[in-house]
Amino acid sequence: MEPMTEKYVIGVDIGGTNLVVGVIPAEGGEPVALRSAATRGQRGPAAVVSDVGTMANAVISETLQRTGASQEQVVGIGIGCPGSIDLKAGVVLTAPNLGWSNYPMRDHISEQLGLPATLDNDANCATYGEWWQGAGRGAGVLSGVTLGTGIGAGLIVDGRIIHGASGSAGEIGHTTIDFTGRRCACGNYGCLEAYASGPNIAARAREGLEAGYKSLLVKLVDGDLDQITAITVYDALVQGDDYAHEVMLETAKILGAGIANLVNTFNPEIVVIVGGVTRSGDHLFGPLRSEVRRRAFKSAVDACQIVPGELTQKAGVIGAAGIFVATCEMDQ
Amino acid sequence: MEPMTEKYVIGVDIGGTNLVVGVIPAEGGEPVALRSAATRGQRGPAAVVSDVGTMANAVISETLQRTGASQEQVVGIGIGCPGSIDLKAGVVLTAPNLGWSNYPMRDHISEQLGLPATLDNDANCATYGEWWQGAGRGAGVLSGVTLGTGIGAGLIVDGRIIHGASGSAGEIGHTTIDFTGRRCACGNYGCLEAYASGPNIAARAREGLEAGYKSLLVKLVDGDLDQITAITVYDALVQGDDYAHEVMLETAKILGAGIANLVNTFNPEIVVIVGGVTRSGDHLFGPLRSEVRRRAFKSAVDACQIVPGELTQKAGVIGAAGIFVATCEMDQ
């Protein structure tokens, strides 16, 4: 195996909201250069590929300047994208949050930059990042859970991502926690995501207010309840609002049921939770851990830590780059 | 690697109700000899180990007689036992359905017979059996689901069982499908097993009758509702009873929600369902498949077959023996 020392890999994290591109040392470590921009996915995938090209060239230039490395030391691109992915073909089959389908993302970005590329699901990338360089470093059996516009998970055993039969392993956002419950955007009832995704935390908060609960939240959005987001709920919570506290507690219990299911099914030694909601810290993690303990198998709970990610917004780019590195090593 | 041809392995399946011991060709195939007896676990694990010894000697004799093989060609023992297992130590940590805890089952059976042994969870054994010799032969990503006194699952990727951090991966019986739902024996609320295990199918049927539903079931048990079992419900169903049909339909929908969660989380190419309930055939599999399709990710459902096991009561012994063979091959 050729040593990867002093080689660099471009990490690309295409999110529903933000597009992040960075250069990561192939042997691991912090990004040498990093750019972030709005994805604006409604322009279509080709416009985003063009943005990726521009941003990648900028971070490459910055890296060469800063490290004295040559262009040849940048050896490839790891890409993460939400939705269902055909891993072998490098195609985004459907990305509902972006409105894309059947787009050969890997090859278009590869051609744009003249470098080999890999493509994987964004939750897998964030999970791999936390396993490679973050809170789950070196764990034998790890699960990452991404909380955001959607809820996803990645599963890693002995350093390898479990992709499943069609690349959709870890879709815990659409696991049922209440089979007669709340309708989800996917058409199903009682999905975890129908309660605990960012937009649905906000929706549940709004519903309570419309039903007459009193809360600081109303003032925080100047009475325009449509402006409530998961972040507003968190802001009201830290200002001591009882109702916001109740919404967060319920969120933690629901997430706890979903994560207990993951713990019982997959028995990970660590669950790393990634995404903006983790800023709620112990307001979220305290009741969440209690609920998992209450619901999951004792031997599985005793063997499992539940922790926030360490890489924050960089988990996706670092993990995408790490997957490229691992794929090269496997091919050699 | 030494060829395993003309070698034989003893498979031991310690069930909550039945104890099955057989001799399996190490290269796979039907048991050459097989014995089954009541487990009577309340006598304690040592009495069961003694029974295993007696039964194993009987099936070994029968095998030698029938095949002309010598004693030396019987090379080891694969054991399956319900509950949580310390795989490395070969210890049954807790087996609630048998009332055992912290028992070094593997070494006691190994000493009893003077042969090396492996110990794994019963659901993993049945799953491995169906992968090795049954309905899931050669599948890359397979899940087995055992329906009986309890509900369990086994997960296999590339021929290897996913055990998780503490050997309890696949405990889907205690995954939550209704977080405010029915109380489970485990103390939690809304577990899959609280609705769809054999005893809980019977309990739900009884509850409806107590609430006034009319059914042939009452006659089948001479009015003694405590005698209702999942088998009685099935018997009433095949005799055209509407209420039994309704109970089975509800069971199928609930199992569908649980299996959809497994499909979304693990994305198997095949789910093999094992256990007595599978005798309900299309009465169960029809609505179950519909419910999984309704609830799970389209790409995951499209990639997944849901089928009954082919090995019926032999899945456990065949799988336990297969795990012994695979462990030897890995060690070489």
Tens of pLDDT along A156-198? 999 999 999 999 899 999 999 998 888 888 888 899 999 999 9
CATH number, domain with residue B280: 3.30.420.40
E strands present in chain B: 8-14, 18-25, 33-38, 74-81, 84-86, 91-95, 100-103, 117-121, 141-147, 151-157, 160-161, 270-274, 305-308
Domain carrying residue A200: 135-309
What burial class does residue B62 get, using C-beta atoms within 10 Å of its C-beta: 0-12 exposed, 13-18 middle, 19+ buried?
Answer: middle
If you measure CA to CA, which chain A residue comes closest to B154? A265
**Pairing, β B305-308 against β B84-86:** unpaired
B211 has pLDDT over 70? yes
Compute the average pLDDT of residues B203-209. Answer: 95
Question: How many CA atoms does the CB half-sphere of B188 hold within 13 Å?
Answer: 28
Same domain, B86 and B153: no
Angstrom distance (rounded) from CA A50 to CA A108: 9
Note the Cα B199 to chain centre separation in Å.
15
Smallest Cα distance from B87 to chain A, Å: 13
Strand partners, A25: A8
Same domain, B91 and B151: no
Burial B99-124 (b: 16+ CB within 10 A, else e): ebeebbbbebbbebbebebbbbbbbb
Same domain, A161 and A197: yes
Lowest mean pLDDT among A2-6, A324-328, B207-211: A2-6
Angstrom distance (rounded) from CA B248 to CA B291: 13
Judge whether B70 lies within some domain: yes
Judge whether A2 lies within some domain: no
Residue type, B261: N
Same domain, B163 and B184: yes
Q: Which positions in chain B touch A260 (Cβ < 8 Å)?
A: 175-176
Same domain, A76 and A100: yes
Judge whether B196 lies within some domain: yes
Smallest Cα distance from A187 to chain B, Å: 8
Judge whether A79 lies within some domain: yes
- Say what the pLDDT of residue A2 is: 45
Question: What is chain B's length?
Answer: 332
Question: What is chain A's length?
Answer: 332
Of the two residues A305 and A280, the one the predictor is more confident about is A305
Contact B299/A93, CB-based, under 8 Å?
Answer: yes
Judge whether B117 lies within some domain: yes
Torsion of CA A185, A181, B251, A164, to 10 degrees: 40
- Say what the pLDDT of residue A185 is: 82
- Say what the pLDDT of residue A1 is: 44
For B125, the enclosing helix (H) or strand (E) is: helix B122-133
Mutate to test the interface with B, among A191, A295, A305 (most CBs of B within 10 A): A295
A6 has pLDDT over 50? yes
- Say what the pLDDT of residue B332 is: 62
Same domain, A221 and A281: yes
Q: Which two tokens mark B254?
A: 């609930």
Compute the average pLDDT of residues B240-266. Answer: 95
CA A168 → CA A85, B102, B299, distances in Å?
A: 8, 38, 7
Residues B147-199: tens digit of each pLDDT: 988 899 999 999 999 999 999 899 999 999 998 888 888 888 899 999 999 99
Number of domains in chain B: 2
- Check if the beta carbon of residue A18 is closer than 8 Å to that of residue A3: no
Compute the average pLDDT of residues B61-83. Answer: 95
Same domain, A108 and A157: no
- Say what the pLDDT of residue A332 is: 62
Residue type, B199: P
Same domain, A278 and A318: no
Compute the average pLDDT of residues B91-98. Answer: 88
- Say which residues have a Cβ less than 8 Å from residue B70's Cβ, sequence separation at least 6: B64
Q: How many CB pairs under 8 A join A and B?
A: 163
Same domain, B158 and B86: no
Compute the average pLDDT of residues A231-238. Answer: 93
Q: What is the mean pLDDT of chain B?
A: 93
Judge whether A180 lies within some domain: yes
Judge whether A3 lies within some domain: no
Same domain, A229 and A124: no
- Say what the pLDDT of residue B287 is: 94
Judge whether A206 lies within some domain: yes
- Say what the pLDDT of residue B5 is: 55
B293 has pLDDT over 50? yes
Q: Residue A4: pLDDT band by 50, 70, 90 thresholds?
A: very low
B4 has pLDDT over 70? no
Compute the average pLDDT of residues A255-259. Answer: 96
Which of B99, B167, B154 has the alpha carbon at shortest distance from B266? B154
Residue type, B10: I
Q: What is the mean pLDDT of chain A?
A: 93
Nearest-CB residue to B165 (from A168, A262, A303): A303
Phi, psi dihedrals of residue B172, rounded to the nearest 5°: -75, -15
Same domain, A38 and A111: yes
Q: What angle do the packed helices B198-210 and B242-266 form, to 10 degrees?
A: 140
Of the two residues B202 and B298, the one the predictor is more confident about is B202
Same domain, A16 and A139: no
